[in-house]
């Protein structure tokens, strides 16, 4: 029962806002209220969306997109838009405090919905854009908290899985923040070769 509930919850996150999923004895029923139609999915396919391989999940998600029941992949954001996010995040951290911003992330960066995993190229491009925009702004000026939160929010709002870390080192004492996705860190997790131990990790809510 718990596994079925988890699978249905994962499926519901993939669907477009106008679709609703209901558990059936042999799978699930998708109610597409935009087109006034109902689509069935076998129990095995529902479980694949939650627990299957990336290839299986991507194939099923493609079928849902073709049927108009799942949203497509958002277009990548332009560098100026990333710069706007960076400056806005930086001002919010300075006025409201980093702790409050972390608590607000559940609203600004909802749980990821895409079945495919983020590619290293995709994350590397975002990392370069964030670094360029941050170093080029006198306001942000390479602030790791602003870069990490911006990267986390943009990745999650694009439907990609990411984890935001806050770390510390003892000698000399310092704090650092970074976002990890596809094996890459934005910004680097060990700036100038100094390793930081993660003491807080913000991942997927409800998972």
Per-residue pLDDT of the chain (207 residues; tens, 9 = 90+): 455 666 777 777 777 777 888 888 888 888 887 778 888 888 888 888 777 787 887 788 788 878 888 765 555 567 788 999 999 999 999 999 999 999 888 777 766 556 556 778 889 999 999 999 998 888 898 899 999 999 999 988 877 889 999 999 988 889 999 999 989 999 999 887 788 999 999 985 434
DSSP 160: -
Which pairs count as long-range contacts for 58-67, CB under 8 Å and 24+ apart, including other chains? Answer: 58/115, 58/116, 60/115, 61/14, 61/114, 61/115, 61/116, 64/14, 64/15, 67/32, 67/39
Q: Verify that 123 and 173 share a domain, yes or no.
A: yes
- Let me know if residue 207 belongs to a domain: no
Q: Verify that 62 and 150 share a domain, yes or no.
A: no
- Let me know if residue 177 belongs to a domain: yes
Gyration radius of the chain over CA positions:
19
Q: Domain total for the chain?
A: 2
- Let me know if residue 71 belongs to a domain: no
- Let me know if residue 35 belongs to a domain: yes
Alpha-carbon distance of 207 to 199, in angstroms, equals 19
Q: Verify that 50 and 116 share a domain, yes or no.
A: no
Burial of 36 (0-12, 13-18, 19+ CB in 10 A): exposed
Q: Verify that 60 and 143 share a domain, yes or no.
A: no
Q: Verify that 23 and 85 share a domain, yes or no.
A: no
Q: Verify that 48 and 85 share a domain, yes or no.
A: no
Domain that holds residue 60: 2-66
Alpha-carbon distance of 200 to 135, in angstroms, equals 26
Helix ranges (DSSP H) in the chain: 2-14, 43-51, 54-66, 79-96, 98-108, 120-135, 144-157
């Amino acid at each position: 029962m718990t596994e079925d509930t988890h699978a249905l919850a994962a499926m519901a996150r993939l669907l477009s806002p106008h679709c609703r999923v209901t558990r059936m004895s042999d799978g699930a029923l998708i109610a597409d209220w935009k087109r006034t139609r109902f689509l069935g999915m076998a129990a095995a396919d529902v479980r694949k969306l939650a627990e299957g391989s990336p290839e299986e999940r991507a194939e099923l998600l493609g079928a849902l997109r073709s049927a108009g029941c799942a949203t497509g992949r958002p277009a990548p954001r332009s560098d100026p838009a990333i710069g706007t996010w960076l400056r806005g995040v930086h001002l919010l951290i300075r006025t409201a405090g980093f702790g409050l911003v972390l608590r607000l992330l559940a609203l600004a960066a909802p749980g990821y919905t895409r079945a495919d995993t983020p590619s290293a190229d995709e994350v590397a491009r975002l990392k370069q854009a964030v670094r360029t925009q941050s170093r080029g702004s006198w306001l942000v000026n390479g602030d790791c908290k602003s870069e990490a939160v911006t990267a986390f929010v943009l990745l999650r709002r694009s439907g990609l899985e990411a984890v935001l870390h806050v770390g510390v080192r003892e000698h000399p004492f310092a704090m650092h923040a970074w976002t990890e996705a596809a094996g890459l860190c934005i910004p680097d997790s060990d700036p100038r070769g100094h390793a930081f131990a993660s003491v807080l990790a913000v991942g997927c809510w409800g998972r």
